Amino acid sequence: LSSLPLQILLYVNGIYYIFYFLATLAMIIYKSQVFSYPDDFLAPDLAVLFLMALLEVPQLYLGFKGNLTEAEAPLGLSLGLTVGSVVLCMYLLLWQTYVLQADVLLNGVLLMAYGLESGLKVMAIAAFVS
Amino acid sequence: PADTRDAAQAGVRSAPAPVTDVSRLCVCDLLVAQCDTNCCCDPDCSAEDFSLFTTCSVPAVVGDSHLCSQKAAVYSLDVEANPPERIFKLIDQVNPSIFCIHATNYKQALYLKSPEIPTSENFDELLDKYGGATFSAEPDSWNLDTDMQNPPEANETSRYEYGLPVQTEDAFLRLPSPVVSSWCSDANPAGFLVNQATKCIRSVSVEKCDSIQALSMLFYINSSILASVFQVNITVQSIVVQSLNGMRTSLSSSEVLRLPVVLDELCINAVLGVNYHITHTDTGEIIEAAAAFVLGTISKEELSIEQSFEISFTQENTQPVPLSGNPGYVVGLPVRAGFQPQGYPFPAASLVASLALSSNKHSQLTILQSTSTQDCLTAQGARAPVLFGYNMISGCKLRITAAMKCQPLAQTLLDVLKGQSFPEFVASFGNSQAQDVLDWVPITQLHISEQMISHTLQSSCQIPVSLGIEVKWTKYGSLVNPQARIVNVTATITTSTLKQLPSGRERIIPITSSVVFTDISSPAEPSYKAWPTINIKLPFDFFYPFV
């Protein structure tokens, strides 16, 4: 049976991610205006943010598909992409040029969501395999 | 950090590391090893010094307030205690904003950059970057020399705009002019449509005069002007040779190029003046260029000569007539005048009648120009143009002897006062065209005799003693940009009786001429546009069921 909590979490994650992406982009722009933000520090931060957005879309799609069709392959792939997103999220939390308090909050919430999601995905895969 | 690395490599004293600990920072500690008054953070102050303070000039030392939590050193004086003592607290200041910096991975974000210590390796690079008057992020864009040496591209020279340098094969058309001192500088470009006349001094020597480039005709006509798709060669229009005593003769054959040559102890064919005439179309393309030269002779004693250069631009198929305003007269520009050709009645309704205009100075409205000798009879010919808005007065002294005859003297004085060709009409606007006869104002001539006493014999001699030109002008046109328009010109000749002198005696009479400009404009009446009318009408079927 498809996991209902995972479905709810994926749905909420999608909505939250859009907010997260826009907020982080706006804050990077704010930081570049208010603080001294040279181009060779700005480029990696922006690259990581856009890369994370690129990973998020297939991850959510595969998660939905895998959960609804009760197939473990897409769900497994989605789990792999989640790990990548977690790494990038850690980068934005710890190694960004300027980490604001708001950054800490947003990334923290996203990390918690990813963590919960990963756990639910593992349980769902276990349920589907058996 | 970079400082210690530099120190380790070069063994040079490096800049001190920046102090970032707030408890050790003290802005008011200015005196070394001495206690500064009212400076609570000064480490040189003892408890006795603190008891003498009245207040703390620096109450708190805080780092960057953008950080979420930072250390702050707070200093205060406890005046209640006896003796007063200083209280030092190290507290954590919290920035409540959600956009406070939690952490940063960029070391220079919060501190000023330490400047690079010059060493023998990086000295040249630092000099390049910071040695000039200005620094910029891209120093290459400030390199002006490369602009001058870059040859212009073909499509850029297709049409010229006002003020742009006229480009030639090698660089641009040069008009030598004095820059800072009176010495000639060859780097002054001639701007398109900018009529210029310059005079400058060039140092010469007769022995080397054939090697000095600026004295040779070739230097000025060598390169051809770039214009649209082809190049315009500079032709020699005329050559005038000036001899040592100043006499100028025009040469009939101007095709031969005359180069400077050392002859005896003189240098002949040296360029004393160049006059460029450039003809262009109305779209800004140069089609013709000609140069008129004045060649002279330099003697051995002269170490420098004065060269004069002029450039003028003419549109093709037009006669250049300088305007004195567009449309109203501009103060300071000459009043334009002209004659009506014989045979045409005035006012002429036909379009054929027109005024003979010329830019020749002698046909302008001119008045006598005072000379240093102040003698009327020897000063014939020196005339000054009447400039709009400038009231002028000039004069000369006439020495009358017994031998002078009246009639020729009167005629001479009339010539002196009025000039060779006194015009009949004056342009009412600064840009009046010759074919618009109604735009021209006739000059009214009045004769006033000084002595109107009836018993004066008619046969006694009357000589003109003064000419007064009164120009009445008005403000014409819009209220915010009024244009000057000449309405009336009156030339009044005042004559006086010449009394016969006993022989041997002579008298001196002053002769004056003056120009006065009077503003007769009536006060302006501002007029406003009519208020917009509001047309509100109900549609005809508004009350449909009832009407």
The verdict on A96 touching B (C-beta cutoff 8 Å) is yes
What is the side-by-side strand order in the sheet with B392-401?
B337-338, B425-427, B440-449, B482-498, B461-477, B506-519, B392-401
- Give Cα B265 to chain centroid, integer Å: 42
- Chain A environment of B68 (Cβ under 8 Å): 101
Interface probe, candidates B65, B67, B97, B102, chain A, greatest A C-beta count within 10 A: B102
For residue B9, give how far its alpha carbon lies from the nearest alpha carbon of chain A (Å): 27
| Cβ separation B99–A35 shorter than 8 A | no
| Cβ separation B109–A27 shorter than 8 A | no
* Contact yes or no for B177/B309 (Cβ under 8 A): yes
B102 vs A30, A41, A99: nearest CB: A99
Residue B492: what pLDDT?
93
Show the low-confidence residues of chain B (pLDDT under 50): 1-11, 139-155, 344-362, 454-455
| Cβ separation B68–A101 shorter than 8 A | yes
Q: Which residue of B has its CA nearest to A104?
A: B102
The verdict on B129 touching A (C-beta cutoff 8 Å) is no
- Chain B environment of A30 (Cβ under 8 Å): 99
- The token pair that represents B158 in the structure block: 């297709």
| Cβ separation B101–A96 shorter than 8 A | no
Chains A–B, number of C-beta pairs less than 8 Å apart? 40
Per 3-state DSSP, chain A is made up of helix, strand and coil in percentages (nearest 5) of 90, 0, 10
Concatenated DSSP letters of B198-214: EEEEEE--STTTTT-GG
8-state DSSP, B438: G
- Chain A environment of B109 (Cβ under 8 Å): 35-36, 97-98
For residue A96, give how far its alpha carbon lies from the nearest alpha carbon of chain B (Å): 7
The verdict on A2 touching B (C-beta cutoff 8 Å) is no
Q: Which residue of A has its CA nearest to B105?
A: A97
Residue B539: what pLDDT?
84
- The token pair that represents B278 in the structure block: 């450039």
Residue B122: what pLDDT?
84
For residue B530, give how far its alpha carbon lies from the nearest alpha carbon of chain A (Å): 52
- Chain B environment of A36 (Cβ under 8 Å): 108-109
CA distance B209 to B308: 18
| Cβ separation B102–A30 shorter than 8 A | no
| Cβ separation B109–A98 shorter than 8 A | yes
| Cβ separation A41–B98 shorter than 8 A | no
Give this complex's ipTM.
0.83
For residue B137, give how far its alpha carbon lies from the nearest alpha carbon of chain A (Å): 13
Domain ranges of chain B: 20-97, 164-315, 333-340+355-451+458-519
Residues 6+ apart with CB under 8 A from A65: A71, A74
Strand partners, B441: B426
What is residue B435's three-state secondary structure?
coil
Q: Which residue of B has its CA nearest to A45?
A: B105
Interface probe, candidates A31, A32, A35, A93, chain B, greatest B C-beta count within 10 A: A35
Residue B358: what pLDDT?
45
Show the low-confidence residues of chain A (pLDDT under 70): none
Residue B456: what pLDDT?
52
Residue B141: what pLDDT?
42
| Cβ separation B102–A36 shorter than 8 A | no
The verdict on B108 touching A (C-beta cutoff 8 Å) is yes
Chain A, window 11-30: residues with a beta carbon less than 8 angstroms from a chain B beta carbon: 27, 30
| Residue A78 main-chain phi, psi, to 5 deg | -65, -35
Chain A, window 63-92: residues with a beta carbon less than 8 angstroms from a chain B beta carbon: none
CA distance A64 to A54: 17
- Chain B environment of A97 (Cβ under 8 Å): 104-106, 109
- Chain B environment of A35 (Cβ under 8 Å): 66, 101, 109
Residue B379: what pLDDT?
64
Residues 6+ apart with CB under 8 A from A95: B105
The verdict on A105 touching B (C-beta cutoff 8 Å) is yes
Helix ranges (DSSP H) in B98-158 = 123-130, 144-149
Domain ranges of chain A: 4-129
* Contact yes or no for B116/B122 (Cβ under 8 A): yes
| Cβ separation B66–A35 shorter than 8 A | yes
- The token pair that represents B139 in the structure block: 């120093």
The verdict on A98 touching B (C-beta cutoff 8 Å) is yes
CA distance B89 to B495: 103
For residue B114, give how far its alpha carbon lies from the nearest alpha carbon of chain A (Å): 15
For residue A104, give how far its alpha carbon lies from the nearest alpha carbon of chain B (Å): 8
B94-131 burial string, b = 16+ CB within 10 Å, else e? Answer: ebeeebbbbbbeeeebbeeeeeebeeeeeeeeeeeeee
| Cβ separation B98–A99 shorter than 8 A | no
- Give the helix/strand (H/E) hosting B92: strand B85-94
Residue B320: what pLDDT?
67
